[in-house]
Amino acid sequence: MEKMSFELELRWNPLLREWVIVAAHRHFRPWQPKTVCPFCPGSEETKGKWNVLVLPNRFPSLVENPPPPFSSPKPPYKVERAYGICEVIVETPIHEGDLCDLSQENVRKVIDLFAERYQKLGSKSFVKYVFIFRNKGAAIGVSLHHPHSQIYAFPFIPPRIEKELRSSSEYFEKHGRCLFCDVLKAEKEDGKRIVYESRYMVAFVPYSAMWPYEIHVYPKRHVGSLPEMSEEERDDLAWVLRVVTATYNSLFDFSLPYIMVFHQIPTDDKDYGFYHMHIEFYPPHRDREKLKYAAGVEWGAGVFIYDRKPETRAEELKAACKKALMKLKNQ
Ligand code: ZN
Ligand code: ZN
Ligand code: FE
């Protein structure tokens, strides 16, 4: 592929006080290409022997040497260069599958690579936040089906994280305890929404879930990021990620699309002792055939409406989890 020039900038939304990444070149990225898979072994970037692989994103939204902005706005608008790094983690040489289809050792390797990239990218001066995520399924808009995750190293703390940081910091000030540890305690005491619990992790439907089959995974120990996790905890996390994804695929007996995100502490070297890392899953389905949309009320007003009770959905997920565990253990 010939070298592409990037048209990129960060535009400030003064009303919502949020950055928007304008990446004009991304309009031309391949959409579900019918040709050879760029992540299967043997292509130019995937030569040699490997299990997991980190590749630069060929259509990055943020780059290490961003061009000067192409717009020159007047206040109240403002613009910045789009500093950052976008990477792809190819999780296996095998073209099809979900995290639950990979071996335990393979998922562990993925987690280790996440931890390594988090540290490596986070150590760069222009990176304030390392965001790790996985989009799965055409309903989510995934353009390449080969199992992969992505990393966005941001030059700012994304608003959703900033909100969680503010609430957990204020909660810590007021109560002297971690908000997430207390959420975990409340979930365990109630118990109705816990889908799966392992030695070091708890997977549950949050009390105020927004997406029908939303699941959050919390480490039981108070840790801020993956590098703080022990060997055993990482093994356990790999297992739980397999269990959650297998649970989703057992729910309606088809490969359920989802978004998986890691929420870890920022890498701007401030103290975030009050924050507790966790993983969130948002599947868009509300039924076998129906999708939940962020529509007028959700998107336009920012208020989510959850049909049915989260406790009922948690029951369904628990039943699916039982089936999934039998399958996983027979693998
Ligand atoms: Zn492939
Ligand atoms: Zn905590
Ligand atoms: Fe979160």
Instruction: Kindly report the backbone phi and psi dihedral angles of residue 111, in degrees, each rounded to the nearest multiple of 5, phi listed first.
Output: -65, -40
Tens digits of per-residue pLDDT, 100-115? 999 999 999 999 999 9
Look at residue 299 and give its three-state secondary structure.
Answer: helix
CB atoms within 10 A of CB 8: 23
What pLDDT score does 148 carry? 97
Q: By C-alpha distance, which of 236, 256, 242 is closest to 92?
A: 242
- Could you tell me the pLDDT band of residue 135, with boundaries at 50, 70 and 90? very high
pLDDT at 30 over 70: no
d(CA 57, CA 275): 29
Q: How far is CA 262 from CA 43, 92, 265, in A?
A: 29, 20, 10
60 part of a folded domain = no
- Could you tell me the pLDDT band of residue 33, with boundaries at 50, 70 and 90? low
d(CA 170, CA 47): 49
12 part of a folded domain = no
Q: Which residue has the tokens 């929404």?
A: 193
Domain of 216 in residue numbering reads as 159-292+303-329
pLDDT at 95 over 80: yes
- Could you tell me the pLDDT band of residue 29, with boundaries at 50, 70 and 90? low
| Element at 54 (helix H, strand E) | strand 53-56
d(CA 61, CA 20): 10
Catalytic residue among 25, 27, 145, 148: 148
311 part of a folded domain = yes
d(CA 119, CA 287): 39
Query: Would you state the structure tokens that stand for residue 128, as one six-digit string?
Result: 């304030």
Over residues 246-265, mean pLDDT = 97
What pLDDT score does 2 carry? 40
322 part of a folded domain = yes
Query: Would you state the structure tokens that stand for residue 240, as one six-digit string?
Result: 């739980």
Q: By C-alpha distance, which of 161, 262, 286 is closest to 211?
A: 286
- Could you tell me the pLDDT band of residue 327, with boundaries at 50, 70 and 90? very high
Share of the chain above pLDDT 70, in %: 96
What pLDDT score does 32 carry? 59
CA of residue 41 to ligand 1 center, whole Å? 8
118 part of a folded domain = no
CA of residue 96 to ligand 1 center, whole Å? 7
What pLDDT score does 138 carry? 87
Tens digits of per-residue pLDDT, 315-326? 999 999 999 999
- For the chain, the farthest-separated pair of C-alpha atoms sits apart, in whole angstroms, at 63
Q: Which residue has the tokens 């996390």?
A: 237
CA of residue 275 to ligand 3 center, whole Å? 10
278 is catalytic: no
Dihedral over Cα of 134, 139, 143, 147: its sign:
positive
pLDDT at 309 over 70: yes
CATH of the domain at 219: 3.30.428.10
pLDDT at 246 over 60: yes
pLDDT at 276 over 80: yes
Mean pLDDT for the chain overall: 94
Q: Which ligand is nearest to the CA of 224?
A: 2
Whole-structure pTM value? 0.96
pLDDT at 55 over 80: yes
**Single-letter amino acid, residue 80:** E
Over residues 236-256, mean pLDDT = 97
pLDDT at 31 over 80: no
- The pairing of strands 278-282 and 194-197 is unpaired
**What domain count does the chain have?**
1
**DSSP type of residue 22:** E
What pLDDT score does 158 carry? 98
284 part of a folded domain = yes
- Could you tell me the pLDDT band of residue 266, with boundaries at 50, 70 and 90? very high
CA of residue 207 to ligand 2 center, whole Å? 17
Q: Which ligand is nearest to the CA of 162?
A: 3
Secondary structure percentages of the chain, helix, strand, coil, to 5: 35, 20, 45
* Close Cβ partners of 320 (under 8 Å, ≥ 6 residues apart): 247, 248, 250, 251
* Close Cβ partners of 157 (under 8 Å, ≥ 6 residues apart): 128, 129, 165, 266, 268
CA of residue 226 to ligand 2 center, whole Å? 14
56 part of a folded domain = no
Lowest mean pLDDT among 39-48, 77-86, 121-130, 202-211: 39-48
277 part of a folded domain = yes
What pLDDT score does 183 carry? 98
CB 79 within 8 Å of CB 171: no
CA of residue 218 to ligand 2 center, whole Å? 9
Q: By C-alpha distance, which of 229, 227, 265 is closest to 117?
A: 227
Tens digits of per-residue pLDDT, 148-182? 999 999 999 999 999 999 999 999 999 999 999 99
CB atoms within 10 A of CB 169: 16
| Distance from chain centroid for Cα 34 | 26
pLDDT at 3 over 80: no
DSSP secondary structure string for all residues of 89-150: EE--SSSS--GGGS-HHHHHHHHHHHHHHHHHHHTSTT--EEEEEEEESGGGT-S--SSEEE
Q: Which ligand is nearest to the CA of 36?
A: 1
What pLDDT score does 1 carry? 38
Look at residue 200 and give its three-state secondary structure.
Answer: coil
Q: Which residues have their alpha-adjacent CB atom under 5 A from ion ligand 2?
A: 178, 180-181, 222, 276
What pLDDT score does 48 carry? 86
